[in-house]
Structure 1
Amino acid sequence: MIAGAGLTSALIVEKEEDMETIHTVFWANLAISCTMAAVLYIFAEFFGGLLGAVESAYLLRIMAFLIPLQLAGDVAYSLLARRMNFSQDAVWSMASESIAAVVAVALALLGFGVWALIIQLFAAALIRLVGLYAVSRYCPRFVMKPRRLVPLLGFSSGLMGSEIANFVTFQSPMVVIARHLGLADAGAYSASNRFASIPNQVVLSAVMGVLFPAFSRMMDDPQRRRDALMFSTQVLTVLLAPMMFGLWAVAEPAMLVIFGQNWAYAWPVLGLLALSKAILTPCSTFIPYLKGAGYGRVLFWSATIRAIVTTVAVWLAALYGTLIDAMVWLCIVNAVTLVAYSWAVFKASDTPFFRGLYVSSRPMIAALVMAVAVRYLLHVLAERVPNATLQVLIGAAVGGLIYAVLILLTERALLGKILGMVKSRRMRDTATQG
């Protein structure tokens, strides 16, 4: 999060590939990651105590060696991102994870226990590291010129600070809930949060890495970058909003189906977490836009203010209320965050605020209408269809149909643009083959 957030990201937005700068960043990044690994190794008991598991110190010491192994490939990845060569990175990422998973399963069957998971992480990191250097054709040389880092620090420090702030935003609710509401509520929050985060992880994990270098390549064309921002925001909102609002609509039966009877009581937590994430779906492209457009300072202050407000709101709600109160306030904070982030990004891109907010949030509104309809339908059918699995299936089918109709009515221009791009791509492919 810290070592890889700044300098290597700054390489992506540089206009030219200066090898002396690239080598200097490699050694600086490696030095930072080794320092972090040493700190984690030496103070393993302290960090284990913070996590409430002092006995895990030996695992932290082992995992410390993973930090430089993972971050040693950041420069090679940055070069691939600069060249928009994401397919090679995707191939090696998939290969490394697949091979490591097979190795871990085999070792687990042989009785290696937790060591199977540790070996999986190291194997995946090592395979990806070798693959990145093979496809990027980058070979580090012992060139270290600190002056080359100075122009990168202004941008990289903002990114590093924003990454730390985002970490606080995402992790502080868990810490606050565990300390003030107990381990039972912390477990309910953790299980619900993992499940509610799946749509974001599936969709955004691949898209985020593409959008940042894509926006950075448009540095000299503000209009093209502005159009790309609105188009990508609309497309991602169309994809993500129905998943998140749909999960809110079927939270009660879904919690029972996925986690069983023991966790069924926590369905309001799952629903509110899904709702809090659904509110932020139009913001999915904002962070890579601010990074790619060079607004590191705006990104830092936006992330910092969000981290402070989120932590304070959840803390006060947990201190004077219940877990449900904390989740309600998380939804309120995210609604304010949507407006604040939209204002910052649309101002940076010279887009009229209300027009930008309306266009980017329109698919979200359609998804909300769909979710309310599904929620009402399941309430009506609760006695006739008592089976939770059937309720989830009915909700998904009806919700998909309603949402498709709403998108056809409200997003015809966007759909037409997408179809036009697909046809143009096919025509180019046909001409190339011919």
Structure 2
Amino acid sequence: MSLREKVVNSGTWNAGGKFVQLLSSLLITTILAKLLSPDDFGLIGIATVYIGLITEVTTIGFGSAIIPELKTSQIQLSSLFWLNFATNTFAFLLIFFISSFLAAFNNVQTLEPLLQLVSIKILLSTLHRMHRKLLEKELQFKSLAKIDIAAAIISGLSGITMAFTGFGVFSLAGQALTLEIVYIIFTRIYCKWIPGFHFSLPEIRPIIKFALQMKGSRIVQYFSRNIDFILLSKLLDVTSFGLYSFAYRIMYFPVKQISYVFIEILFPAFSKIQDTPVKIREGYLRSLHFLALITAPLMTAIALFATPIISMLWGEKWIGLSGVLPIFAFIGLVQSLDFIANAVFPALKRADILLRVLFIRTLLVVIALFSGARYGLQGIAAAILVAVFWGAAVSQFYLKKVISMKITDVFYHLAGPLAGSSCMILYYYSASHFFPENTTTGPYGLMTCVFIIYGAIIWIYDRKKVNFVWESFMKSRSSGGK
């Protein structure tokens, strides 16, 4: 099977798995939102920020570093595993012992036991992270899809059960720990690799060098995605921060699931053809196009129908999201398309460029936060939207340099999805203006109409491109590849 067929086949399994995971997680989040309060989501949001920050700063994360390496020995893999285990243990102990200080800093005493409990997932993640990266390296996304679906459903049921029995915010902590435990069990089923009891620093020195370059990028990337949480967790009250973090969660989770379908496949695939930038450019543009086909109508629909979606799914206690969620939807759209660049630079071993891009993105977000803070949550969200747009422009500037890509190529591949989304918006406001009293179909009938219009536009613009992917998928199936 050719690399293209492997990528298409892997993408199909990965996309299917992420889609099922997305639906199950949406259902689980909906139930938890009805059982829990904005305060609970605010607390878990604060805990997640601190744990993520300390983990990023104190650990290295060698999993992704093994993907660009064409061959890795048992000694190398085992050495990386134990080094990863040591750094993660240090991060866990650090969080455990400073949790009381962090709780006092935020003036929320419940934060101390919550941090101590959730930090256990740092240790648990060490036991499956390397195995997952080995499966990714071999494009075993059928196995990964099964793992992700099982983990999402089982951990979600665990969180719901705890919420029903009155555990409050700790039900979200239980959900996070159950997720890691399920990952450990299922990755060991599909990946038979067992670390040996040996360690050799000279064997892994080149991998460590690359991992450290990537580490700088990941730290900057963490700050670019979470600097708003770090600042707002202190500036806002718990309820307001809960609304903000929930809106981000609803926006970011679909973006992450859909975008990572492409990133998880493209990074190892691009690494195999790192000496042929032309092929990387073609793969990037096609991936950008098909990612936009999915995220553009989804995020546009969330923006247009935010209020009925909130009322139907989460209830009136979350109605404060109605002014923020539409802006976050468009932030999600821009970020989803920008994420793919994160697979190109490391695959070409240009982590230095990725670091530069992420630093600029972070600076833009910081400026946006201080500019929009005076106007409340909506002002903050609007300023962040402007920041991520300019951040995407920076990514395109550097992509032009490394894979000789023209901006006109990008617009050509985005023309169909953008035209379809524009028609969705035009139809929505036209129908709302000319038929404001129409109660026959309601918002859900209107939502159906805008999706039909989007599909018609895509059929006109991108029929050949969609047929190409379908034919590639059918060809890969007929070849019998896994």
Interval containing the TM-score (normalised by the shorter chain): 0.7 to 0.9
Aligned to 2:459: 408
Aligned to 2:26: none
Give unpaired runs (5+ residues) of structure 2: 1-54
Aligned to 2:101: 46
CA apart distance, 1:333: 1.3
The answer on 1:245 being equivalent to 2:296 is no
- Output the amino acid matched with 1:200: V
CA apart distance, 1:89: 2.7
Over 3 Å counting, the alpha-carbon distance change for 1:286 and 1:385 in structure 2 is same
1:71-82 to 2 correspondences below 5 Å: 71-82=126-137
CA distance in 1, matches of 2:289, 2:341: 12
1:102-251 to 2 correspondences below 5 Å: 102-103=157-158, 105=160, 118-177=173-232, 179-180=234-235, 185-251=240-306
CA distance in 1, matches of 2:324, 2:237: 15
Over 3 Å counting, the alpha-carbon distance change for 1:249 and 1:329 in structure 2 is same
Name whichever of 115-124 and 64-73 sits farther off: 115-124
CA apart distance, 1:32: 0.5
Equivalent residue for 1:332, pick from 378, 386, 389: 386
> SS at 1:143's partner residue?
coil
- Output the amino acid matched with 1:195: I
CA apart distance, 1:297: 1.3
1:414-433 to 2 correspondences below 5 Å: 414-429=465-480
CA apart distance, 1:37: 0.6
Aligned to 2:332: 277
Over 3 Å counting, the alpha-carbon distance change for 1:75 and 1:419 in structure 2 is closer
8 Å CA contact 1:250, 1:395 repeated in 2 = no
Aligned to 1:383: 436
Report Cα offsets for 1:254-283 as digits up to 9, x if no partner: 344444445445423111111222233432
8 Å CA contact 1:251, 1:270 repeated in 2 = yes
- Output the amino acid matched with 1:76: H
CA apart distance, 1:40: 0.8
Name whichever of 240-249 and 264-273 sits farther off: 264-273
Aligned to 2:92: 37
Over 3 Å counting, the alpha-carbon distance change for 1:182 and 1:119 in structure 2 is closer
Higher RCO (CA-CA < 8 Å; seq separation 6+): 2
CA apart distance, 1:401: 1.7
Count matched residues. Answer: 426
8 Å CA contact 1:282, 1:360 repeated in 2 = no
Name whichever of 259-268 and 361-370 sits farther off: 259-268
CA distance in 1, matches of 2:237, 2:170: 30
Over 3 Å counting, the alpha-carbon distance change for 1:265 and 1:143 in structure 2 is closer
Aligned to 2:62: 7
Aligned to 1:18: 73
Over 3 Å counting, the alpha-carbon distance change for 1:262 and 1:405 in structure 2 is same
Over 3 Å counting, the alpha-carbon distance change for 1:20 and 1:94 in structure 2 is same
RMSD: 2.9
1:245-264 to 2 correspondences below 5 Å: 245-264=300-319
CA apart distance, 1:227: 1.8
CA distance in 2, matches of 1:156, 1:121: 26
Over 3 Å counting, the alpha-carbon distance change for 1:365 and 1:119 in structure 2 is closer
1:286-325 to 2 correspondences below 5 Å: 286-319=341-374, 321-325=375-379
CA apart distance, 1:27: 0.9
- Output the amino acid matched with 1:148: E
The answer on 1:373 being equivalent to 2:426 is yes
> SS at 2:90's partner residue?
helix
The answer on 1:395 being equivalent to 2:449 is no
Over 3 Å counting, the alpha-carbon distance change for 1:302 and 1:206 in structure 2 is same
Report Cα offsets for 1:322-365 as digits up to 9, x if no partner: 333222222211221221111212322222x2223213432442
CA apart distance, 1:178: 5.2
- Output the amino acid matched with 1:143: H
Aligned to 1:354: 407
CA distance in 1, matches of 2:422, 2:477: 35
Give unpaired runs (5+ residues) of structure 1: none
Report Cα offsets for 1:122-157 as digits up to 9, x if no partner: 343233223323432211112212223321233212
8 Å CA contact 1:177, 1:185 repeated in 2 = no
8 Å CA contact 2:285, 2:410 repeated in 1 = no
CA apart distance, 1:183: 5.2
Report Cα offsets for 1:181-240 as digits up to 9, x if no partner: 655643442333233334314423444322322222222443332221111111111111
CA apart distance, 1:241: 1.0
CA distance in 2, matches of 1:407, 1:4: 44
% same residue: 18
